[in-house]
């Protein structure tokens, strides 16, 4: 696979275009694989029958996230939609603890996030859908080691090519799923809250407990 072409202004958006999508979130992971597949099917990199173009009116194949809501993108075929299934934060060490900074008593923690990724290869013909799915699976399998290294993924499972079946969103289309999982480290810091807990304890001691929690529930104390 050749190096991807220079980035062009695209009428097809990606999840990472939104500033509310934080780095390392499942939506950002989807954006990564959208761009990888766009580069794979770009001119000079992929099959000549399905050349991806940044211009939606000129592209021979749509490559979008599963969150694309435009009717134009959804109606055009063939298409590749990258989506996710249920993601989960696992347990790696006891309490997720990575270490403590004694100067401010900050507790640094980390864990691994697991995100199942589903790539739906949609086409009007069953055979075409299966072939596109085969190209996607082979691309992701061959490039899995460089992808893991470049994006600092902890792990990327071998992609599984599923059976080609009728597409639920369009009865006149077929879909071939390619599925795999990505794991990546997540880190965060917990700042000391002992002072806050002591303040809460004093308030409970100085007031009737039932009345105190009722005030909290009705936003009267400002806690």
Dist CA 196 CA 218 (whole Å): 20
> Packing angle between helix 126-142 and helix 26-40, nearest 10 degrees?
110
pLDDT at 9 over 50: no
Cis peptide before 78 (omega within 30 of 0): yes
Boundaries of every domain in the chain: 15-192, 193-223
Q: Where is pLDDT greater, at 147 or 210?
A: 147
Over residues 160-178, the pLDDT tens digits come to 999 999 998 888 899 999 9
Q: Taking the CB of residue 34, how many other CB atoms lie within 10 A of it?
A: 24
Report how far apart the first and last C-alpha atoms of the chain are (Å, whole number).
57
Over residues 77-86, the pLDDT tens digits come to 999 999 999 9
Q: Look at domain 15-192 and name its CATH class.
A: alpha beta
Q: Which pair of structure tokens corresponds to residue 213?
A: 């929690």
Q: What is the pTM for the complete model shown?
A: 0.71
Over residues 105-151, the pLDDT tens digits come to 667 777 888 999 999 999 999 999 999 999 999 999 999 999 999 99
Residues 6+ apart with CB under 8 A from 122: 77, 78, 79, 80, 81, 129, 167, 170, 173, 174, 175
What pLDDT sits at residue 68?
76
């Amino acid at each position: 696979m050749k190096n991807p072409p220079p980035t062009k202004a695209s009428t097809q958006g990606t999840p990472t275009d939104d500033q509310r999508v934080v780095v390392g979130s499942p939506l950002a992971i989807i954006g990564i694989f959208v761009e990888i597949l766009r580069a794979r099917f770009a001119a000079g990199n992929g099959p000549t029958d399905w050349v991806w173009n940044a211009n939606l009116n000129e592209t021979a194949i749509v490559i979008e996230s599963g969150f694309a809501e435009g009717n134009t993108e959804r109606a055009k075929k063939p298409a590749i939609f990258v989506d996710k299934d249920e993601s989960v934060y696992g347990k790696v060490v006891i309490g997720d603890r990575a270490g403590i900074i004694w100067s401010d008593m900050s507790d640094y923690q980390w864990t691994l996030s697991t995100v199942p990724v589903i790539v739906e290869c949609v086409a009007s013909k069953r055979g075409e859908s299966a072939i596109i799915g085969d190209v996607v699976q082979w691309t992701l399998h061959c490039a899995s080691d460089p992808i893991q290294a470049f994006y600092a993924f902890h792990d990327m499972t071998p992609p599984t090519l599923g059976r080609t079946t009728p597409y639920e969103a369009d009865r006149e289309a077929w879909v071939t799923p390619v599925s795999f999982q990505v794991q990546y480290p997540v880190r965060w810091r917990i700042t000391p809250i002992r002072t806050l807990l002591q303040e809460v304890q004093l308030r409970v001691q100085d007031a009737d407990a039932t009345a105190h929690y009722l005030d909290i529930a009705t936003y009267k104390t400002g806690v």
